[in-house]
Structure 1
Amino acid sequence: MPGLTLHLLALSTEVSIFLQTLRQTRDVVVASRPRHVVVRPEHLDATTLSQTPWDLLVLLRPLTNGDDDDDDATAIPKSLQPSITSEYKVTVGIPSKLLTTYAARDNQLKASASTAPLTGSLDSARARSSSQSLEVSPDLLDFMDSLTAQHNGPVTMLNLLHFHPDGKKSYFQYGQAFVPVAGKRGGDAKLVGNVVPPAGGGGGDSRGSADRPAEDWWNEVSIVHYPSIRHFCDMLAGEDYQAINEKYRLAALRDTFLLCTTEFDVEKTAAAAKL
């Protein structure tokens, strides 16, 4: 199971320039612009994850050749470190089969996004005060309207998951039930992997989180595609989704971080289409 690194970065330089340079020495599997925190963590690095103004999310696969001997192949190259003002790093093992087929599946999902159906759930959504339990809230609806005005294409959701001691089984059941519920709206999990705890404990913030036991750390990462933010909200507003959310997901999780992002290749394609 190949080890990849997920990085959230706050930068002091232009994102496009940073990313272009990064691609010269690293295999960038996913590159996204963080847009909105949908669910804030309550226990694990809550302040760092929720309040840092992140500029870039990247999932990196170490290159097997061409790396500078002075660089850690699982880290951001040393030449780019001065441009980073804050970093949060998670190491994740993703099955080889998912990585082998990722590019083709990713292209197919993005190509079919414009024809993905909505179910109409939003028309009768019961707004809640918060989306912390993955319900449609006024704040989330405001974000949906704002993002749709700028970007009406695919969104990529980053999920960091920390399970209750007996929660893994319940979340597996949630994952199985999620497939048809999200699928009828064009949603699909693109990558799922187990988190590798930091050696000797410790936090994900490479700039100095406090140490913690390895078991008090994220357990799983998933990266999920939706044809648009409206499709995501349509799902949350659906009775079919809330049934599995309440039955399986909420019971499984001790903590979670859910971040809405837009991938740079999708943004570039949308911008070119307007010309």
Structure 2
Amino acid sequence: MKVENHIIPGDDQISAMMNDPGPSGPIVMVNLLKFRDKAKYADGSNPHMSGRDAYALYGAGVVPLVAKHGGRMIFSGPTTFLMLGMVEDLWDQVALVEYPTRKALFEMSSSPEYQAIHHHRDAGLEGQLNIETTPDFMISG
């Protein structure tokens, strides 16, 4: 299995997301996050900030946007141990985010509010995997 972390989706992935409505109900995005040691802002600002801290600025802004588009943050936390399997380099954090539809995710990530905070995500991430799942069942809470 080949695994490649990326920061933004490729053209094929964006096209598929835009042109395929996806599942008819909710989706949960599994985010496997790898942070830069030091944030890397395009304008050179904040050279001493960690990637994790830059991503935390993005996270503080994106959680209300997710809610505005009908979604919710289910879980976010650091990885602490690999219990099964083997990878060369473990991701730093895992986040689970529920959206009512794939379209809601696309609309949120295309919004001006999202574009205004996206630079913190880019500065903080070395790469990530985003995996769309459809729940067999949901535990409310």
- Bin for the TM-score computed over the shorter chain: 0.7 to 0.9
Partners of 1:153 and 1:251 in 2: how far apart?
32
Partners of 2:65 and 2:52 in 1: how far apart?
20
Structure with more contact order per residue of length (Cα contacts < 8 Å, sep ≥ 6): 2
What aligned pairs does 1:131-150 form with structure 2 within 5 A after superposition? 133=8, 137-142=14-19, 144-145=20-21, 147=22
Q: Is 2:54 aligned against 1:170? A: yes
Gaps of 5+ in 2: 38-49
More strand by proportion, 1 or 2?
A: 1
Partners of 2:58 and 2:126 in 1: how far apart?
15
Q: CA deviation at 1:181?
A: 1.6
The 8 Å contact of residues 187 and 225 in structure 1, kept in 2 or not, is answered as yes
What's the % identity of the aligned pairs?
A: 27
Structure 2 letter corresponding to 1:230:
K
How many residue pairs get matched?
A: 124
Partner of 1:256: 128
Structure 2 letter corresponding to 1:251:
A
Structure 2 letter corresponding to 1:234:
E
Partners of 1:186 and 1:134 in 2: how far apart?
22
Structure 1 residue runs of 4+, over 6 Å off? none
Partner of 2:97: 224
More helix by proportion, 1 or 2?
A: 1
Q: CA deviation at 1:198?
A: 3.8
Q: CA deviation at 1:197?
A: 4.0
Q: Is 2:58 aligned against 1:181? A: no
Larger Rg belongs to: 1
Gaps of 5+ in 1: 1-44, 51-130, 267-275
Structure 2 letter corresponding to 1:133:
I
